[in-house]
Amino acid sequence: MELSLNIEALDSWVRKRGQKLLISGPCSVESPEQMDEVVRALSKQDNIDVLRGGIWKPRTRPDSFEGIGTEALPWLKEAGRALDIPVETEAAEAEHVELALKEGIDILWIGARTSASPFSVQEIADALKGVDIPVMVKNPINPDIQLWIGALERINNAGIQKLAAVHRGFSSFENSVFRNVPMWDIAIALKSLCSDLPIICDPSHIAGNKEMIPFVAQKAIDLDMDGLMIESHPDPEHALSDKEQQLSPEKLENLIRGLSMRSATSTDPVFENQLEELRAIIDQIDEDLIKTLVSRMKIVEKIGEYKKENSVTIFQLERWKEILETRTSLGKKLDLDEDFVKSFLELIHELSIRRQTDVMNQRIEK
């Protein structure tokens, strides 16, 4: 399945000073003084492309700081002017869109809690009709790629072509080292469905703590995400929201300096040749793997016939346990991830049972 969105390339609507789009700024806009500090700190860095700042904050619990509101819009815009970069804030209602547009806010993002609600997204989409402003759509808090796609489609259908997705991880009841579990495969799946859609990673909300942000940011770059949104605050200890995850200006600078930038391709012919050779080997291995699986399935069908002739059940618990046990311990010995081997075997076993069921019911003619 392909996802067809009508999208303008990122480079055409935001100037990238480095190789990846870098968005930074505080979780929340708190005061004119704080924004003066932000300007002072970020003006020392020449690679921030967009200044972010929350005006209306949808907090999970009602007793948290919920943003300054409309009064803070000019403080954000003014800081963007001083830094000579566009500013971005979250819109959660149609009224936020109108107020932000009136103030000249350059980019909007739709937050994770809003993306999870089709009615809210549609309300925002309706307010955006006929307006030319870039919009970034955060993934919904629950790991539902269709909901994320639906939100992107609603905004795109309203005529917004300067569109990007923001991967900020997913809520989980399970204990995790992450504040929001990244589930990178969902971001990768979105990219595979729509290669034109830029995906920005938000390591701050994934990590939830300062220490892990560099690791998540590097991983996003290694996965060829198009940019990073990183929360920074002149005085994180006293931040009114998300203080555990906001980086001080020094930490932000170190993080950016420490990132190993990678691009999707290289122009170095030696690298290209080596890559080509290694890929040819992989192609052969994959072909062998598939042929081996086909041979295995042929044997599975033969066993199905014997079982049928002897009135023996398809599923044999002891045999299944033995397969799992021997193959995962072999994998472990050979340094192949145990969970991976288990999932791989489960897939094979599922197909084997299906094939043997077909043999038993004579859906496979021999």
- Looking at the Cβ atoms of 49 and 301, the one nearer to ligand PEP is 49
Site string for ligand PEP, 84-113 (x = CB under 6 A): ---------------------------xxx
Site string for Mn ion, 227-266 (x = CB under 5 A): ---------------x------------------------
Of 24-32, 188-196, 260-268, 278-286, the segment contacting Mn ion by CB under 5 A is 24-32
Closest by Cα among 142, 144, 165, 141 to 153: 165
- Looking at the Cβ atoms of 156 and 232, the one nearer to ligand PEP is 232
Residue 27 sits in the site that holds Mn ion (CB under 5 A): yes
The dihedral of CA 103, 109, 115, 118: what is its sign?
A: positive
Render 300-362 in DSSP notation, one character per residue. Answer: HHHHHHHHHHTT--S--HHHHHHHHHHHHHHHHHTT--HHHHHHHHHHHHHHHHHHHHHHHTT
- Looking at the Cβ atoms of 153 and 242, the one nearer to Mn ion is 242
Site string for ligand PEP, 6-45 (x = CB under 6 A): ---------------------x------------------
Q: Which two tokens stand for residue 252?
A: 């932000």
124 class by beta-carbon count within 10 Å (0-12 exposed, 13-18 middle, 19+ buried) = buried
Residue 112 interacts, among ligand PEP, Mn ion, none and using kind-specific CB cut-offs from 5 to 8 Å, with ligand PEP
Task: Tell me how far, at minimum, the Cβ of 198 lies from Mn ion, in Å.
Answer: 21
**What does each C-alpha distance from 282 to 90, 267, 277, 329 come to in angstroms?**
44, 22, 9, 25
Task: Tell me how far, at minimum, the Cβ of 19 lies from Mn ion, in Å.
Answer: 25
Residue 42 interacts, among Mn ion, ligand PEP, none and using kind-specific CB cut-offs from 5 to 8 Å, with none
How far is 168 from 109, CA to CA, in rounded Å?
A: 12
- Looking at the Cβ atoms of 241 and 352, the one nearer to ligand PEP is 241
Task: Tell me how far, at minimum, the Cβ of 292 lies from Mn ion, in Å.
Answer: 49
Render 205-234 in DSSP notation, one character per residue. Answer: HHH-STTTHHHHHHHHHHTT-SEEEEEB-S
Residue 239 sits in the site that holds ligand PEP (CB under 6 A): no
- Looking at the Cβ atoms of 25 and 134, the one nearer to Mn ion is 25
Residue 247 interacts, among ligand PEP, Mn ion, none and using kind-specific CB cut-offs from 5 to 8 Å, with none
Residue 355 interacts, among Mn ion, ligand PEP, none and using kind-specific CB cut-offs from 5 to 8 Å, with none
Site string for ligand PEP, 126-165 (x = CB under 6 A): ------------x---------------------------
Residue 168 interacts, among ligand PEP, Mn ion, none and using kind-specific CB cut-offs from 5 to 8 Å, with ligand PEP
Scanning the chain, the segments in alpha helix (DSSP H) are: 10-13, 32-42, 73-83, 94-103, 112-115, 118-128, 145-157, 184-193, 203-207, 213-222, 249-258, 269-309, 317-333, 338-360
- Looking at the Cβ atoms of 113 and 243, the one nearer to ligand PEP is 113
Identify the DSSP state of 247: B
**What does each C-alpha distance from 309 to 216, 232, 298 come to in angstroms?**
56, 70, 17
Identify the DSSP state of 62: T
Of 27-35, 131-139, 143-151, 182-190, the segment contacting Mn ion by CB under 5 A is 27-35
CA dihedral angle for residue 150, residue 156, residue 158, residue 160, rounded to 10 degrees: 150
How far is 234 from 202, CA to CA, in rounded Å?
A: 19
Task: Tell me how far, at minimum, the Cβ of 259 lies from Mn ion, in Å.
Answer: 21
Q: Which residues contact 271 (CB under 8 A, 6 or more apart)?
A: none
Residues 232 and 24 sit within 8 Å (Cβ to Cβ):
yes
Which residues are paired to 25 by β-bridges? 231
Residue 54 sits in the site that holds ligand PEP (CB under 6 A): yes
Task: Tell me how far, at minimum, the Cβ of 137 lies from Mn ion, in Å.
Answer: 16
Contact residues for ligand PEP, defined by CB under 6 A: 27, 54, 111-113, 138, 168, 205
What residues make contact with Mn ion under the rule CB under 5 A? 27, 242
